[in-house]
Amino acid sequence: MKILKDDDQENQVPNQNGIPTNLLKDAEYVKCESCEGTVFEEKLMIKKISKFMTGSDRDSIAPIPVLACSKCNHINQMFKPTV
């Protein structure tokens, strides 16, 4: 069991994502596979679902959030939906 000193405890305070700040400080930024940018924004991909699959009287749509590079709009493979 590790004994934390006062300054260690200060570094263990979670940020808004619940990740301790000392871990976040050393983490690498995710880069765009196309242009190596490090800023991403949320976009939507939309799937069309046939009325024959849902039993509805018309086709449906399903929005799926993805992250795209804000510089070139590329979507990294790790951000593409698997549905």
User: pLDDT class for 15, splitting at 50, 70, 90?
Assistant: low
pLDDT of 6 reads: 52
| For the chain, percent of residues with pLDDT exceeding 70 | 81
Mean pLDDT of the chain: 87
HSE-CB at 12 with a 13 A cutoff on CA atoms is: 8
Q: What are the C-alpha distances in Å from 52 to residues 49, 56, 62? A: 8, 7, 15
Render pLDDT for 43-80 as a digit per residue (tens, 0 to 9).
999 999 999 999 999 999 999 999 999 999 999 999 99
What is the residue extent of each domain of the chain? 29-83
Segment 12-25 shows an average pLDDT of 76
